Each structure stands twice: as structure tokens, then as C-alpha cells.
Amino acid sequence: MIKSTIVLSCSNIHKSFSLDRKAASQFHVLKGIDLEINLGEIVSIVGASGSGKSTLLHILGGLDRPSQGNVSWLDQDIFSLGDDTLATLRGKTVGFVFQFHHLLQEFTALENVMIPLMIQGTSLKDSEVKAAELLSKVGLIDRKHHKPSELSGGEQQRIAVARALANNPKIILADEPSGNLDSVSSRQLHELLWELNRTEKQTFVIVTHNEKFAEGSHRVFRMVDGKLQKLS
């Protein structure tokens, strides 16, 4: 039996926010979360809006620090690192897809996918070749010279997925990726993510309030009262 590789893990994650300037009152959002994500699996986290799903995802991605607890990427305790070192490691390890695509409006689809490659030091020529390959994977190579304003919402989100894949991340964290799409575009995005998992063995953690979108995941959790309940 082949031992599974844990890509991401967290233990005893707590997160509280102050409700007033004096921090006398605290809102306890996350209440001791433990989770391990294995290489090549899709894990979905469902739950009501405001339940803490996005807060957890931001902590798992190193975009926010927990009030208590640890997060590791491939056995590296990420919050033991300085901000600059963590940012560099994040760029090589984690890809992000958000509800709002956050594409740069002045750049073409191809250029948007090239940007994370160039930030990591890839040459202009190699970045262009890799970005074109990724746009082909998401079915948008014929739209590579279009700017975001010339693309549909579903197309923009596909480009965001291609951008997330740019630096061959070990894991992609997706925060309500279909939340701003119509039903047809949502289904197409769903099919794309599952296809990338099958063909590229890409690992995903997907936060969503859409339980139908979560169907087909290897594991599904529900966020309830600051904790994760395993559904499947």
C-alpha cells in the first residue's frame, strides 16, 4: 500500500476577532480545527455565509494568522517563518481562486496568467509559453489576447484557475469559486476543477455554500459553530 502524502495540515486552529477597540469583547470564529489534506484529493467545506469557511481558508493559505494553532505545508510550519519567507514559499506552494477573479483589467488573459510566473523569476519567453499551455488546459487559448472586460464571468474565472496553476502549486485553495456565476458557468467551472484533479492530480480545497457544487469531492466537511463536521 502506498502511503499518502499530506500536502497541508492544520492543528488546533482558533481565530478570534475583537468586537471593540479595547479588545474587551472577542468573537470566536474558529474553535480548534484539525485537518489534513492528502496529495491529489478534493476536499470541500460547506456551510452558511459567515460561518468561518473563508477565514479558515485564508489561514490555511497563509494569508492570515490564527489566534492559536499551527499550519504546515509539506511538513513546514508556515507561521514559524517571517512574512517575506512565507510569501515566497506561498508563491511556490499554493494557488488561489477567489469568488471575484481579481484579474488585472489592463492586461490580457495571457498576461494575467504570465504574471505569477514572472514574479517567481521565469523569463518572459518561458512565461508566455507556460501561460499559453495553461489557457489551453482551461479551454481558452482562443481568448488569450482578450482583456477581462471582453470575457464572460465564467471565462474570467477559468483564467483565474489557469493563473492559480501557473507555478505548479501543490494545492489550490478556492474560496466560493462559483459564487458569482450563473448555473451554466458554475457547472462548467465545477467540471473543469474535477477534470484538473483527474488529469493533473491537482489537489483542491474548495470552500462553498453550494452543497451541490461539493458533490463528487473525496471528502466534504460542514462548518458548524466554528468546527468542522465530516459529511462524507
Q: Which domains does the chain have, with CATH numbers?
A: 6-230 (3.40.50.300)
105 Cβ contact list (under 8 Å, min separation 6): 147, 148, 149
Q: Are strands 227-230 and 219-224 parallel, antiparallel or unpaired?
A: antiparallel
Among the listed ranges 9-13, 47-51, 159-163, 191-195, which one has the minimum average pLDDT value? 47-51
Q: What is the mean pLDDT of residues 84-106?
A: 87
Instruction: Give the pLDDT confidence of 106-122 residue by residue, as tens digits.
Output: 999 999 999 999 988 89
Q: Look at residue 22 in the predicted model and tell me its pLDDT.
A: 63
pLDDT band at residue 23 using 50, 70 and 90 as cut-offs: low
Q: Which residues share a beta bridge with 105?
A: none
Q: Look at residue 134 in the predicted model and tell me its pLDDT.
A: 94
Rounded to the nearest angstrom, the gap between the alpha carbon of residue 85 and the centroid of all alpha carbons in its chain is 20
Instruction: Give the pLDDT confidence of 149-161 residue by residue, as tens digits.
Output: 999 888 998 899 9
Q: Look at residue 147 in the predicted model and tell me its pLDDT.
A: 93
Judge whether 110 and 144 are in contact, CB under 8 Å.
yes
Whole-number average pLDDT of the chain: 88
Report the phi/psi class of residue 231: left, alpha or beta, with left for phi > 0 and alpha for psi in -120 to 50.
alpha
Q: Look at residue 27 in the predicted model and tell me its pLDDT.
A: 79
Q: Look at residue 153 in the predicted model and tell me its pLDDT.
A: 86
- 3 state DSSP class of 7: strand
Cα angle, residue 214 at apex, residues 45 and 35 outer, rounded to 5°: 30
Instruction: Give the pLDDT confidence of 166-204 residue by residue, as tens digits.
Output: 988 999 999 888 877 778 888 888 889 999 999 989 999
- 3 state DSSP class of 157: helix
